Amino acid sequence: MSERKLNFFAGPSVLPEEVLAELKDQIGEYQDNGFSMIEASHRGPAFDTMYHECLDLFRELLGIPENYSVFFLGGGATLQFSMIPMNFLGAGQTADYLKTGTWSNGACNDAQKLGNVKVLFDGKDSNYSTLPAPESVTPDADAAYLYLCSNETIGGIEWQGWPETGNVPLIADMSSDILSRPVPVEKFAMIYGGVQKNLGPAGATFVILRDDMLERSPANLTSYLNYNTHAKKDGLFNTPPVFSIWAVKLVLEWVKAHGGAQGMAERATRKANLLYNAIDSLDSVFYSPVDARYRSKMNVVFRLRDEELEKQFLKETAAMGMLGLKGHRSVGGCRASIYNSLPEESVAVLADYMKEFARKNG
């Protein structure tokens, strides 16, 4: 086997080596059953046991209260951009959105096609490099919900605190920072995200939904698009993304063994500090384009002051086995995605190389 690369891809992204080893070991036969997990009926006991262990662990690690349903859907996080307004934005109501980058903008644009939307914040003028202070965000008292994206994966900005929304349901896309830190789940009516950033391979979207929200879904929605369908069937209305869920379960076990959400937060802070310290201390060559107060600990976005040098930096790091450092095609620059599963050593190698590169070219 060739040497493992340093994987800074934004998603799908790096998984713990222990999880890959376990999947490899069990892919042919799952726990002496005579069949693989990916050959098992989703109505059978092998899947059922694994599935409920996965859900229980997710609840435990995030501290999800009893009055929330948890399930996995298909369609990516993107399908939720539609399902949220379809279920929760009634006729004559208005939903409040915070437009802070590519992903919340996408969700807002879809909601606008389905109902009335009010944009409480739009980061356009700052090129989506900053966030509103949480205490400055006040949804309308009768808003259907307030929507935000906790970590803008492309822009590299991350909420560090949460708006107080009173009785207005708070809904968050946490695709790219779920379980990278503790979250007060009880402040949110719904948290959702694709698993392929921080929890596992692509194919599943997790939905954490407070049960009282289910009363809002209109009865005329088709079955898959109505959250009630999934909540009532414990997420097994139709075939769930079995392989992803199995891998997520293994990742959750790994997270638990490494200190849970708190352990992940400490790890994320150490890793992010290594890179931001390098960027800040090498400022004749590198800079961070985002508001320092909201720097993401999952997606470290940075630029080089010289475009030619930036190309050279990306070329040299790629040659050294550091993958995925080119920024998203919509914004350019560089981005190191340093999700939970990325080893601290990988980040140290990158930070060291930034220093060497600056010494040679600064």
Ligand X SMILES: *Cc1c(COP(=O)(O)O)cnc(C)c1O
Q: Which residues are annotated as catalytic?
A: 103, 173, 197
Query: Closest distance between ligand X and the C-beta of residue 176, in Å?
Result: 4
Instruction: Find, among 85, 158, 108, 107, the residue nearest to 128 by Cα.
Output: 158
Alpha carbons 6 and 287: distance in angstroms, whole number: 22
In this complex, which beta carbon is closest to ligand X, that of residue 16 or of residue 156? 156
Q: Which residue is nearest to ligand X (CB)?
A: 76
For 77, 155, 289, the CA distances from 120, given in Å and listed in that order, are: 22, 19, 23
Query: Closest distance between ligand X and the C-beta of residue 315, in Å?
Result: 26
CB 188 within 8 A of CB 362: no
Query: Is there binding between residue 97 and ligand X (CB under 6 A)?
Result: no
Q: Which of residues 230-259 bind ligand X (CB under 6 A)?
A: none
**95: its two tokens:** 């939903």
**292: its two tokens:** 């320092």
Alpha carbons 96 and 109: distance in angstroms, whole number: 12
Strand partners of residue 207: 71, 192
**32: its two tokens:** 């002496």
Alpha carbons 81 and 11: distance in angstroms, whole number: 18
In this complex, which beta carbon is closest to ligand X, that of residue 342 or of residue 354? 342
Q: Which of residues 50-89 bind ligand X (CB under 6 A)?
A: 76-78
Question: Of the candidates 6, 83, 149, 301, which one interacts with ligand X according to CB under 6 A?
Answer: 149
Query: Closest distance between ligand X and the C-beta of residue 25, in Å?
Result: 28
Task: Name residue 120's amino acid.
Answer: L
Question: Of the candidates 103, 206, 276, 286, which one interacts with ligand X according to CB under 6 A?
Answer: 103
Say how many residues touch ligand X, by CB under 6 A.
12
Site track 156-195 with ligand X (rule: CB under 6 A), x = hit: -----------------x-xx-----------------x-
Question: Of the candidates 8, 50, 139, 197, which one interacts with ligand X according to CB under 6 A?
Answer: 197
- What are the helix (H) ranges across 98-170? 102-114
| Residue ranges that bind ligand X, judged by CB under 6 A | 11, 76-78, 103, 149, 153, 173, 175-176, 194, 197
